[in-house]
Amino acid sequence: MFSALGLVEVNGSADAIQVVDLMLKTAEVEFETWNTKCGGHATVFVSGNVAAVTEAVDRVKAMPPCEVYKTAVISAPSEEAERLVIESRESSRFARGKK
């Protein structure tokens, strides 16, 4: 389903919004969801083709709008990785298409 997934871990929702904004303005990626963790960290998930996802993640690394803890690009993610993102998106009030 996903050609590639991009993940960026930041500190909290406000930082996650800044990262999503930058990534969407940088490349043809689609926001999937974000996940918050204990301690206030949030992981942003975007999808798209490998080149676009890599460009979006690289832009955040090169010009971070906030403190960035970790980043990753997963090309051709496994079915299990896709399932985790889809389940997170479906259960999140922050997922695309939710109001």
Q: Is residue 27 part of a domain?
A: yes
Q: Is residue 96 part of a domain?
A: no
Q: Is residue 94 part of a domain?
A: no
pLDDT tens-digit readout, 56-73: 999 999 999 999 999 999
What's the pLDDT at 97? 57
Q: Is residue 83 part of a domain?
A: no
Tokens of 17: 């919004």
What's the pLDDT at 94? 62
Cβ(12)–Cβ(42) below 8 Å: yes
Q: Is residue 30 part of a domain?
A: yes
Q: How many CB atoms lie within 10 A of CB 46?
A: 29
Residue 98 has pLDDT above 60, yes or no: no
| Domain total of the chain | 1
Q: Is residue 56 part of a domain?
A: yes
Q: Is residue 97 part of a domain?
A: no
What's the pLDDT at 68? 97
Range of 29's domain?
A: 4-74
User: Residue 43: in which H helix or E strand, if any?
Assistant: strand 41-48
Cβ-based neighbours of 45, under 8 Å, separated by 6 or more: 5, 6, 7, 31, 32, 33, 34, 35, 85, 88, 89
Which domain CATH number covers 12?
3.30.70.1710
β partners of residue 36: 42
Q: Is residue 87 part of a domain?
A: no
Pick the closest to residue 16 from 41, 47, 51 (CA basis).
41
